[in-house]
């Protein structure tokens, strides 16, 4: 399930991705250039336990602790057969209380909720960044690199004199086990997870053209973890969208001074330099990017879309298939391949691709959209 975000505007941005890295020496905040924060933004709220969560723990989980470990009791409550009945929904990144109330969220939201419940039950909590194959999504003109986190639950000393089961650790992940097979995971600090939350909120605000909100969320991410390079990239994109091009350029160049091969910062810097008509300098960075990333995210997809516009549906189909080879789990690629099949009269193949699009969709809205399209196509297909 999709998690955090690493944006890129029309080219590239960043929100919940790379590992903690070296701190940038000069954090360039510009509070005076933005309006007040739209709402209270506090790190303490991200994993705060609501009254409803307290009640649930008391009435539904603590009653089961005599016969099983707290890890197992919580896992059973979170599982599809348990009482909470969670649904994956990546429409927005919710904090712990919001995810519990909605009984849904992206994997970062569900990890935050799980951590809050586990801490209330007296467990030790550790977070892991799972190293998965590169995956991207988009919202309008912003591209998002998608990452994944999960949670490891252990027990504090109060449980260690009980049965052996009580001292064991348990990994809880909201992806199917088959998707995690062979993947490497690294421990990350709670401060980084909170920074990821705020960075996602910044990215989501940018996608909705709420640049002022995005600034305060990006700022909160950096206040939580000043070593989180992805949040600097987000801040640079915020400055670009706000028209603060000199600030934006400085942020991206700072990132590149620490990470010379950061493709997101390179892509974003190229856009800034081109916007201020420094074409030769932009080309130097573009050449460096081309060596690191010969085919940018959505490369074949965008070429496929151009072929669709020209009415060259067979070519579009081939290009969409090439993009799906790079990322078979992104619903929009399957949607457009289905449309290419329809244009070619290949209705059975279109139904198969739309079914895959629905299966890989990450929001209720998208799932409902694909279900409606499938019904209409099936009604006319014999």
Which runs of E-coded beta strand occur in the chain? 7-9, 87-88, 104-105, 123-131, 136-139, 142-145, 148-155, 170-172, 184-188
Q: Nearest-CA neighbor of 41 among 204, 213, 205, 188?
A: 213
Joined tokens for residue 114: 């799980």
The pLDDT of residue 84 is above 90: no
Q: Which of 192-196, 354-358, 374-378 has the lowest mean pLDDT?
A: 374-378
- What pLDDT score does 85 carry? 64
Q: Are 14 and 7 in contact (CB under 8 A)?
A: yes
The structure's pTM equals 0.81
- Chain segment 31-45, per-residue pLDDT in tens: 999 999 988 899 999
- What pLDDT score does 320 carry? 95
Could you tell me which residue, 132 or 128, shows the higher pLDDT?
A: 128
According to DSSP, the β-strands at 184-188 and 142-145 are unpaired
Bridge partners, residue 151, by sequence = 127, 172
Whole-Å CA distances, 77 to 31, 53, 56, 73, 130? 43, 12, 10, 6, 23
Q: Stretch 354-381: mean pLDDT, rounded? A: 85
101 burial (CB, 10 Å; 0-12 / 13-18 / 19+) is middle
CA separation for the pair 119, 44 (Å, rounded): 14
- Chain segment 317-344, per-residue pLDDT in tens: 999 999 999 888 888 999 999 999 999 9
Joined tokens for residue 322: 């090439």
Q: Which residue has the tokens 């909120």?
A: 201
The pLDDT of residue 164 is above 60: no
Strand, helix or coil for residue 307: helix
- What pLDDT score does 178 carry? 52
The pLDDT of residue 147 is above 90: no
- What pLDDT score does 285 carry? 95
CB atoms within 10 A of CB 348: 9
């Amino acid at each position: 399930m999709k998690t955090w975000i690493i944006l890129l505007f029309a080219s590239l941005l960043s929100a919940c991705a790379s590992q903690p890295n070296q701190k940038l020496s000069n954090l360039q905040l510009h509070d005076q250039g933005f309006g007040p924060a739209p709402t209270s933004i506090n790190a303490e709220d991200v994993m705060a336990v609501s009254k409803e969560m307290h009640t649930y723990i008391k009435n539904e989980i603590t009653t089961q602790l005599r016969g099983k470990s707290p890890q197992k009791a919580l896992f059973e409550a979170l599982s599809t057969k348990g009482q909470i009945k969670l649904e994956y929904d990546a429409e927005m990144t919710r904090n712990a209380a919001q995810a519990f109330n909605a009984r849904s969220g992206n994997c970062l939201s569900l990890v935050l909720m799980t951590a809050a419940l586990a801490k209330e039950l007296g467990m030790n909590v550790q977070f892991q960044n799972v190293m998965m194959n590169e995956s991207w999504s988009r919202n309008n003109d912003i591209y998002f690199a998608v990452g994944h986190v999960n949670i490891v639950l252990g027990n504090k000393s109060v449980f260690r004199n009980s049965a052996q089961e009580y001292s064991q650790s348990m990994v809880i992940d909201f992806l199917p086990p088959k998707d995690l097979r062979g993947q490497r995971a690294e421990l990350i600090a709670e401060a980084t997870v909170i920074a990821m939350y705020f960075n996602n909120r910044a990215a989501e605000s940018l996608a909705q053209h709420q640049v002022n909100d995005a600034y305060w969320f990006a700022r909160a991410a950096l206040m939580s973890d000043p070593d989180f390079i992805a949040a600097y990239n987000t801040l640079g994109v915020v400055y670009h969208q706000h028209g603060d091009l000199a600030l934006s350029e400085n942020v991206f160049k700072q990132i590149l001074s620490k990470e010379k091969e950061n493709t997101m910062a390179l892509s974003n810097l190229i856009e800034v330099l081109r916007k201020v008509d420094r074409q030769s300098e932009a080309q130097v960075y573009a050449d460096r990017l081309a060596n690191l990333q010969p085919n940018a995210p959505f490369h074949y997809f965008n070429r496929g879309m151009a072929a669709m516009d020209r009415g060259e549906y067979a070519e579009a189909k081939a290009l969409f298939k090439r993009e799906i080879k790079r990322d078979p789990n992104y619903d929009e690629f399957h949607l457009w391949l289905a449309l290419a099949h329809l244009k070619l009269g290949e209705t059975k193949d279109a139904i198969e691709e739309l079914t895959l699009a629905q299966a890989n969709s990450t929001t209720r809205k998208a799932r409902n959209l694909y279900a409606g399209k499938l019904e209409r196509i099936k009604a006319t297909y014999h």
